[in-house]
Amino acid sequence: MVRCTLLLVVLLTSISQCYADQYNEKKIKMEASNITLTLNETLKAVKENNLSLISFALDAQADSAEADSNNYFPDPTLFVSAQNLPTDTFDFGQEPMTQLKFGIRQAIPAGDTIQIKHDTFQMKSEMKYTMQDRLWLRLKLNVEQAWFEAWYWQKTLKILEEDVVFLQQTLEITQSLYEVGVRNQGDVLGAELEIIQLEEMRIEALKKSIEFKNKLNTLAQQNIVKSAFSLAFKPIKYKRILRAALPAKLDAHPDIMHKAHSIHIATQDIKLAEQSYSPRWSLEASYGLRSGEDDRNKDRPDFFSAGVSVQVPIFSSSSQDSKVLSANKRRMSAENSRDDALKNMVYEYIDLQQKYLISLKQSELYQSKILPKLAQQKTSTLTAYQSDQMDFDGTIRIYLKEQKSRLKYHRILIDQQKMLSKLNYWIPNRIFSTQQEIGIIQ
């Protein structure tokens, strides 16, 4: 009897634990489905995990340290030599000119070579930080473009799920009318086929949603967008910039700044090449120790020597002219590259800005007129079909038109956000986020 009781207790405990595990698992899934991942959180993860951004900072610090190392004269040369030793005895005190000579030589770089090299490496350091900013803007743009696409396909899945309800109602009405002989079997098969085609659209949308979520994971280099997560973002608000002020705004873009740094470095190269026209100086001082006595039986005095040497560019002027000419040509090339990039960026910005402003009129038309009318027509169509006032093909035609319009409307909205994201790429900090969320799909 006791054994049976224990067995019953163990059985009830196992069943309770099983139900508890199922409840907890279901609760976790429900909680996960309510978790949203914002665009800012994704951008933060991408910025923290990208090692190339860190590498640019390290390279900049390396160039800065090298600039400091080039801000000094080259190390002096110390020398010691035994001079004028007699070869018959090698006696240090035998001859008056025998001496042990210690000295130092110091070369002085031509002109402003030291300062020019220091400034060049400092500019290279700043250039690395500019390249870091440029990489971050490109990563940010790629993340935003992928994010908006992922949101669109997530919204598409939501719309298709809502359409399942309408098609199920249509199928039920068609089956009931077919049973009483009002509709034929072709209408029933047509409704079933529309449900199957809708499922195929849902599968395609799911593939696209997973594709862009995985792209976000790739950019962040970690699994930040899980299948149970929802995507939410705040729409970008656009502030128009006058065409006359546009070049000055774009001039601060990292792409243009990078080319401006190249011009500065080319200018420094010209200055460095021009230093070859300047003479190169060198200083030397030495002290010679002597041994032995002179004719007056006194210790021989030591020798001290000092001198200056100069290297004058007399026979190499053609080589120096070529160096300066080469440096000037490189600067001209860098200037043309910068001007060309700035002009292209101005016209690309204007083109995209015009497309965005036109798109606003299109989205307003859909929001205020097209979608409300189609929603009313869709609602009345199902009633008319149920009362045998509209055929099946007409009902499905209106349904497909309404579905297509809703998807197109959200595509327009997302394309607008993608355009603003690109405009924001060109002029950072000129486009600000609002506090209104355009939607959370769960």
What structural domains does the chain harbor? 36-72+129-254+337-433 (1.20.1600.10)
Per-residue pLDDT of the chain in tens (442 residues, 90 and over written 9): 444 444 433 333 443 444 345 434 444 343 444 567 788 888 999 999 999 999 999 999 999 888 888 888 888 999 898 888 887 877 877 778 888 899 999 888 887 888 888 888 899 999 999 999 999 999 999 999 999 999 999 899 999 988 888 778 777 877 877 777 766 777 778 878 888 888 999 999 999 988 998 999 999 888 887 755 566 667 777 777 888 888 988 988 999 999 999 999 999 888 888 888 888 889 999 998 888 777 777 888 888 999 998 887 776 667 778 888 888 999 999 999 999 999 999 999 999 999 999 999 999 999 999 999 988 888 888 778 777 777 777 878 888 888 899 999 999 999 999 999 999 899 875 433 332 333 332 2
- How many helices and strands, by DSSP H and E, does the chain display? 10, 8
How far CA 355 is from CA of 308, 348, 349, 415, in Å, comes to 71, 11, 10, 10
In whole angstroms, give the CA distance from residue 366 to residue 362.
Answer: 6
In whole angstroms, give the CA distance from residue 251 to residue 102.
Answer: 58
The identity of residue 103, as a single letter, is G
Q: Which residues of 242-269 are buried (b: 16+ CB within 10 A; e: fewer)?
A: eeeebeebbeebbbbbbbbbbbbbbbbb
Q: The tokens of 200 are what?
A: 């195929």
Q: 10 Å Cβ neighbour count for 423? A: 21
Four-residue CA torsion sign, 158, 162, 168, 171: negative
- Model pLDDT, residue 104: 93
In whole angstroms, give the CA distance from residue 282 to residue 308.
Answer: 6
Q: The tokens of 26 are what?
A: 């279901």
CB 212 within 8 A of CB 146: yes
In whole angstroms, give the CA distance from residue 284 to residue 270.
Answer: 31
Chain segment 357-367, per-residue pLDDT in tens: 999 999 999 99
CA angle 352, 354, 355 (to 5 degrees): 65
Element containing residue 105 per DSSP (H, E): strand 99-108
- Model pLDDT, residue 202: 92
Question: Residue 413 in 3-state DSSP?
Answer: helix
Chain segment 372-386, per-residue pLDDT in tens: 998 888 888 877 877
In whole angstroms, give the CA distance from residue 268 to residue 119.
Answer: 8
